[in-house]
Structure 1
């Protein structure tokens, strides 16, 4: 099961709980539920998918009430079918109800990303191509959403602006061209920092190959025939990444070109929330 430390996830979960509970806490539960009432509840799947967000949902319940007993029944990264129980929670009914929406919001959102990613990954079977996400994530939720991509069988692109050099079209324009941008990047990059550059045409690709200094080339918004020509021209000298207009229906044909990676912002910005519910 792929996880990251709770310490890194806790600030976003605390923020979501503060947002939901507001200044006065759960006034409905406080008014309606007798003090000391105890219940057992389950998070159940209403549809098939790939599970993600169980670590975060459990954290939401524990932050509201450390005395709650939280028992995962399906781990992050596992498939679920309609009716499957993903998690059981036992303890104070008031605590369960107060954490319910935040836990389900995270679990449904992240399971949706994992499910969409798994669909993309399924189209790559029998090829070397890997599916990766982008930085097109919900502000404040990047760690969780990139984790969900891993649960769906995908891979993570750079996490942010600080862990890789990615020279895009606007950088090239502002720097004065491909040669200038690559020269400046390779002069300043440490031996631990990868350099990737985006190209839109085969002519730009040839200039990148002639200039040298890149580790990865991003083939942006190219037709499938041009992607095949680009991979042939690179000849294994660089890691190749296809990006732009990467729908699931197109993945198989792009894999056939031999690219190493397909990146898609849709994995995180267009995933539909998986339908989950909490039942007492």
Structure 2
């Protein structure tokens, strides 16, 4: 059976999903906003694909003329338009054809890496960008740097949980590295790329995110057999210690402009 992100894995009906996405937002939103602020303008019409809790959509609404917040499950976006009237929430599957028009800014974060037809979806997003507009894409990169010893339980769990995601829903933890070349091939200009890798501690947003992530994936990771239960529990316990500090996944953000 083909499994999909947002259904059997990380579904919005899971009681911890809102908390997990909140931690993810606090983990990566500062880096995303710092990039977007370089290109957004008041007159822009924006598309935010995979809006999640709507934090980036809401931030864009404070700056831009119009924002479309798109997600295949909008239950966590139900009240967004009440706070930000210029945001239009659209429930749609970006893996299928969508008649949305074109936008001055198209943003997506941590979406395509979880899709099996990610190249097709990349070109769909590129087509949504109006001439002169910007495409800004962010993806998680599987632990580009870690500081703990290779045999530490935390490092083993961090590395092996990616395998579980790849096996179940087809996640590619290196997908974002292809963006600069894909953008060039698609005819975009002014291409840039950067990496942000936040710290994992017992109290940081990244630490809270991974504790929730591992909790959700626990049965799957153990079933894969690459990490045994004592190693799993030792990794989780280590993350909760006051002195714990390491690095986890990075956020690679690529941006480019479509020529006029």
Greater C-alpha Rg: 1
TM-score by length of 2: 0.32
TM-score by length of 1: 0.30
